[in-house]
Amino acid sequence: MTAAPGTRADEAPLLDFPFSWDGTQVPAEVEEIRAATPVRRVRTIAGAEAWLVSSYDLCAQVLKDDRFSLKDTSAAGAPRQYALTIPPEVVNNMGNITGAGLRRAVLKALNPKTPGLLEWLREEAHRLVDRMAADGPTADLRGAFCEPYSAGMHCHVLGIPQTEAPAFLRSLDIAFMNAPCPVTGAKINWDRDIARMTALLDDPATHGLMGELAALRDDPEYAHLSDEMLATVGVTMFGAGVISTSGFLAMALVYLLTHPIARDLLRDRPDLIGPGVEELLRVNLSIGDALPRLALEDVRLGDVDVKQGELVLVLVEGANLDAEKFPDPHRFDVHRDNTADHLSFGGGAHYCPATALGRAHARIALEVLLDRLPDLALAVPSGQLVWRTGFMKRIPERLPVTW
């Protein structure tokens, strides 16, 4: 696996990436390649060659350096990690939102201090646990809790009816696929979701972020905005937000259910759930692929010369489990002084705009679940969990639990 002595990084045999979809084990390749060369040539799902970056320092360097562009990964002819499932211009979603003058409205809506939001989350978590308790055990914690809790929160933030959640949610199984070639269903779902979100702009009951965006249509200063642009904000915030929050929560639960000492600690010391969420963000394996960037010019990266036009992949689990940055990296330690330096929210220009909401979403879920279901445990051996393949997130298809 490691490059032979004297072999340059770009001469080592090509590795296929991603290495594994199993969310219970860090792929063995991660430590091997970081030790041999943290900037390693790989072949992507789309069949392109790319540089996979696996050390903390170099991952952080790429994310902070604007010569590595996210927007340009969608350029025609650029090497790709996987086929696009969204229109190419939407890759630069937050840049478009900022350019359209909507950044302030979006950031305000994503603030968990919005009156009533935390209370809504807690009530919703209790409602879902009530429903599981009435039916079970056993239950599929992903389908019965993580997904509806997350989709419900996004409907609440967007200000659209909760009844819209299932249809928007269904699209995500295709929208976040890592496929080698374009996926027919992605465009069908995208067009349907944009049409539905556009109709919601005209619905007098719409409030929240979509209500605020709809009201801007009467403001001459925002005459440049089309309904499609506004609907795109809603569809992409729902998609990016739900896949990230429900995926992280499912993986945080997988971690706790396969590490009972960590689970017992957070159950017995609810005051540690806040720092526990941060450490779960560091150790979780939610990101199934890597954060892609295109080199806009030649850049020296570690001991490799990355050429203009080459694809660079930031391996977040490589960074988060790098012993140089986080000593004894596989130990779950809520008292680390640098846990929050993890790269699970990215870094640099594209740092996630919803970190506070993501943290609050997981914290309240864990507080309610561990309090209401103190004996929460996997209902099947962890080796029986079925891991989704060809997807941007690692997720168990079902998370059967008992309590």
291 binds ligand HEM (CB under 6 A): yes
Cβ-contact 64, 293 below 8 angstroms: no
Cβ-contact 81, 44 below 8 angstroms: yes
- Shortest Cβ 237–ligand HEM spacing (Å): 4
Q: Which of residues 55-94 bind ligand HEM (CB under 6 A)?
A: 70, 93-94
Q: Which is nearer to ligand HEM, 214 or 316 (CB)?
A: 316
Q: Judged by CB under 6 A, which stretch of 7-15, 32-40, 320-328, 354-362 contacts ligand HEM?
A: 354-362
Q: Judged by CB under 6 A, which stretch of 170-178, 180-188, 234-242, 391-399 contacts ligand HEM?
A: 234-242
Tell me how far CA of residue 299 lies from CA of 263, 280, 292, 305, in angstroms: 43, 33, 16, 6
**How far is it, in rounded angstroms, from Cα 371 to Cα 290?**
34
345 binds ligand HEM (CB under 6 A): yes
159 binds ligand HEM (CB under 6 A): no
346 binds ligand HEM (CB under 6 A): yes
Cβ-contact 131, 347 below 8 angstroms: no
Q: Binding residue for ligand HEM (CB under 6 A) from 168, 248, 332, 403?
A: 248
240 binds ligand HEM (CB under 6 A): yes
- Shortest Cβ 52–ligand HEM spacing (Å): 15
Q: Judged by CB under 6 A, which stretch of 26-34, 135-143, 237-245, 328-336 contacts ligand HEM?
A: 237-245
- Shortest Cβ 135–ligand HEM spacing (Å): 27
237 binds ligand HEM (CB under 6 A): yes
- Shortest Cβ 110–ligand HEM spacing (Å): 6
Mark 183-202 with x for binding to ligand HEM (rule: CB under 6 A) and - for no binding: --------------------
232 binds ligand HEM (CB under 6 A): no
241 binds ligand HEM (CB under 6 A): yes
- Shortest Cβ 381–ligand HEM spacing (Å): 27
112 binds ligand HEM (CB under 6 A): no
Cβ-contact 185, 175 below 8 angstroms: no
Q: Which residues of 258-275 are buried (b: 16+ CB within 10 A; e: fewer)?
A: eeeebbebbbeeeeebbb
206 binds ligand HEM (CB under 6 A): no
Q: Judged by CB under 6 A, which stretch of 40-48, 208-216, 340-348, 374-382 contacts ligand HEM?
A: 340-348
Q: Which is nearer to ligand HEM, 110 or 304 (CB)?
A: 110
344 binds ligand HEM (CB under 6 A): yes
- What are 197's two structure tokens? 């979100």
244 binds ligand HEM (CB under 6 A): yes
- Shortest Cβ 141–ligand HEM spacing (Å): 17
Cα dihedral sign, 34-300-287-284: positive
Q: Residue 247: name the closest of 380, 399, 106, 124 by CA.
A: 399
Tell me how far CA of residue 45 lies from CA of 58, 117, 401, in angstroms: 23, 39, 33
Tell me how far CA of residue 73 lies from CA of 90, 199, 284, in angstroms: 11, 31, 26
Q: Judged by CB under 6 A, which stretch of 26-34, 80-88, 334-342, 349-357 contacts ligand HEM?
A: 349-357
Q: Binding residue for ligand HEM (CB under 6 A) from 110, 155, 283, 366?
A: 110
Using CB positions, name the residue nearest to ligand HEM: 241
* Residue 73 preceded by cis peptide, ω within 30: no
Question: How many residues bind to ligand HEM according to rule CB under 6 A?
Answer: 20
Q: Binding residue for ligand HEM (CB under 6 A) from 353, 365, 367, 393?
A: 353
Residues lying near ligand HEM in the complex (CB under 6 A) are found at 70, 93-94, 110, 237, 240-241, 244-245, 248, 291, 344-346, 350, 352-354, 357-358
